[in-house]
């Protein structure tokens, strides 16, 4: 029997009013502005843009404020907003070779043309809490160097010139879009990359780490990691030519992995690829490792039964909004479902009790 339940409106309204008050915190403390969040919590903003799959730092800052810093809740808000936007079109593929790099390092070539540029990195810090920041947050003057005009070439291109690394054949194929059509498996690489770039950072990090520990080990080197700004171009239908729509910050990671080869082809390195909105280095490296692990079929490798090789396992569980939606719904009222379970378990217990009763007693 279906029982409609109503009620709780007043409690819900009051809960939301209290939520707003708690969000604000102690009113004697200055309120956070969106500018402060965008400028001073930039890596949080980057993460919300990447997993929310929408590049807009102001919106991400608003979502973070509204969600009281709960990042998955903030991603949820951004995703929900995204669905209300009309789609004007798709950009030309961005040219990361033309990136204005803040950071660009290679773990494989010390003397890479263009040099090793560390950028604003946490690397080589001592990870000691800086109590000066608690007192005042004034930044020291930043040293400046002589900037050349040249953009840095991709390091994998040097290996490619010698045929030492597997080629990435260019194409103009229209990629599948999981925001328009439900994801279908098996997924081709463009669909996998879309799912991975918006995936939960923690989930990808765990999977990537598992490949390093031996679950589908493919021995990755970071051939190159770069962070910087690229322009986004789109062909404008009413003009008939492409213009730049804006500039976005991206993090790109190219891994160089161990060999493949066959009777017809000599051994060569293989690749994994990560490209993520914002300054999101851990995520981009994780994405490249998981991308590489998922390529086992096309590279003719063995299925080792490792989680990172299992396309369905990875792609169907990487989205934190899907995951949290299903996970959190079980806390919402299930009174009627539960009533029927309760009935059932009582019935089973009655039956079990009858079976356990000795026959002579039952006869009485």
Partner 1 sequence: MAEAAEQTERNRWMSLLAKAPAEEVTQRWEALGGDPEFTVLRAPEVGGVMVRGRAGATGAPFNLGEMTVTRCSVRLSCGTVGHAYVQGRDKGHARRAALADALMQTDRAGEVRAALLAPIEALLDGRRQARAARAAATKVDFFTMARGED
293 alpha carbon, distance to own chain's centre: 17
Determine, following the binding rule CB under 8 A, whether residue 277 of this chain makes contact with partner 1.
yes
# residues contacting partner 1 (CB under 8 A): 84
Minimum distance from CB of 77 to partner 1 (Å)?
A: 14
Determine, following the binding rule CB under 8 A, whether residue 66 of this chain makes contact with partner 1.
no
Q: Which of 44, 156, 210, 280 binds partner 1 (CB under 8 A)?
A: 156
Instruction: Identify which of residues 59 and 67 has a Cβ nearer to partner 1 in the complex.
Output: 59
Determine, following the binding rule CB under 8 A, whether residue 148 of this chain makes contact with partner 1.
yes
Q: In what order do the strands lie in the sheet with 268-277?
A: 100-105, 221-236, 241-260, 268-277
Strands (E) across 214-240 are located at 221-236
Minimum distance from CB of 116 to partner 1 (Å)?
A: 4
Provide φ and ψ at 118, rounded to 5°.
Answer: -75, -35
Window contacting partner 1 (CB under 8 A); options: 171-179, 199-207, 311-319, 337-345: 171-179
CB-based contacts of 50: which residues, under 8 Å, 6+ apart?
Answer: 197, 198, 201, 276, 277, 278, 280, 283
Q: Which of 236, 342, 345, 351 binds partner 1 (CB under 8 A)?
A: 236
Minimum distance from CB of 242 to partner 1 (Å)?
A: 7
Q: Which DSSP helix (H) or strand (E) runs through 210?
A: helix 201-212
Instruction: Identify which of residues 248 and 323 has a Cβ nearer to partner 1 in the complex.
Output: 248
Window contacting partner 1 (CB under 8 A); options: 24-32, 212-220, 237-245, 298-306: 237-245
Instruction: Identify which of residues 235 and 341 has a Cβ nearer to partner 1 in the complex.
Output: 235
Q: Which of 65, 103, 225, 280 binds partner 1 (CB under 8 A)?
A: 103
Determine, following the binding rule CB under 8 A, whether residue 124 of this chain makes contact with partner 1.
no
Q: What does the angle CA 81 – CA 243 – CA 237 come to, to the nearest 5 degrees?
A: 75
Whether the CB-CB separation of 78 and 226 falls below 8 Å is answered with no
Determine, following the binding rule CB under 8 A, whether residue 325 of this chain makes contact with partner 1.
no
Distance separating alpha carbons of residues 271 and 293, to the nearest angstrom: 10
Q: Which of 189, 217, 282, 317 binds partner 1 (CB under 8 A)?
A: 189
Determine, following the binding rule CB under 8 A, whether residue 290 of this chain makes contact with partner 1.
no
Q: How far is CA 273 from CA 35, 82, 140, 152, 294, in A?
A: 33, 26, 36, 18, 11
| Terminal CA-CA length for the chain | 36
Which of 297, 230, 217 shows the shortest CA–CA distance to 257? 217
* Residues between 196 and 225 with contacts to partner 1, criterion CB under 8 A: 197-198
Q: Which of 36, 179, 322, 340 binds partner 1 (CB under 8 A)?
A: 179
Which of 294, 133, 130, 116 shows the shortest CA–CA distance to 199? 294
Determine, following the binding rule CB under 8 A, whether residue 232 of this chain makes contact with partner 1.
yes
Minimum distance from CB of 308 to partner 1 (Å)?
A: 18
3 alpha carbon, distance to own chain's centre: 41
Minimum distance from CB of 13 to partner 1 (Å)?
A: 30
Distance separating alpha carbons of residues 98 and 316, to the nearest angstrom: 34
Minimum distance from CB of 182 to partner 1 (Å)?
A: 15
């Amino acid at each position: 029997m279906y029982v409609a339940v109503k009620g709780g409106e007043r409690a819900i309204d009051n809960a939301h009013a209290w939520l707003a008050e708690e969000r604000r915190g102690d009113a004697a403390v200055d309120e956070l502005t969106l500018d402060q969040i965008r400028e001073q919590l930039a890596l949080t903003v980057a993460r919300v843009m990447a997993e929310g799959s929408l590049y807009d730092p102001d919106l991400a800052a608003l979502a973070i404020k509204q969600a009281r810093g709960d990042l998955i809740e903030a991603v949820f808000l951004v995703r929900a907003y995204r669905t209300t936007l009309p789609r004007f079109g798709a950009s030309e593929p961005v040219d990361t070779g033309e990136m204005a790099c803040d950071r660009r390092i290679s773990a494989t070539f010390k003397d890479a043309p263009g040099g090793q540029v560390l950028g604003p990195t946490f690397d080589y810090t001592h990870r000691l809490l800086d109590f000066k920041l608690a007192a005042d947050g004034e930044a020291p003057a930043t040293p400046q160097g002589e900037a050349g005009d040249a953009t840095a070439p991709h390091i994998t291109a040097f290996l490619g010139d010698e045929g030492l690394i597997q080629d990435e054949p260019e194409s103009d194929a229209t990629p599948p879009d999981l925001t328009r059509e439900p994801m279908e498996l098996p997924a081709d690489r463009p669909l996998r990359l879309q799912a991975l770039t918006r995936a939960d950072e923690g989930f990808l990090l765990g999977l990537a780490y598992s490949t390093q520990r031996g679950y589908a080990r493919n021995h990755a080197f970071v051939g190159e990691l770069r962070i910087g700004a690229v322009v986004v171009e789109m062909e404008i239908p009413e003009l008939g030519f492409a213009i730049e729509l804006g500039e976005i910050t991206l993090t790109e990671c190219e891994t160089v992995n161990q060999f493949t080869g066959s009777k017809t082809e000599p051994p060569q390195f293989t690749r994994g690829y990560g490209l993520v909105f914002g300054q999101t280095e851990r995520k981009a490296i994780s994405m490249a490792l998981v991308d590489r692990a998922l390529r086992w079929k096309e590279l003719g490798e063995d299925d080792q039964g490792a989680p990172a090789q299992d396309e369905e396992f990875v792609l169907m569980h990487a989205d934190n909004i899907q995951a949290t939606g299903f996970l959190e719904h079980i806390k919402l009222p299930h009174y009627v479902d539960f009533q029927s379970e309760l009935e059932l378990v009582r019935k089973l217990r009655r039956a079990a009790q009858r079976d356990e009763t000795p026959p002579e007693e039952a006869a009485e």
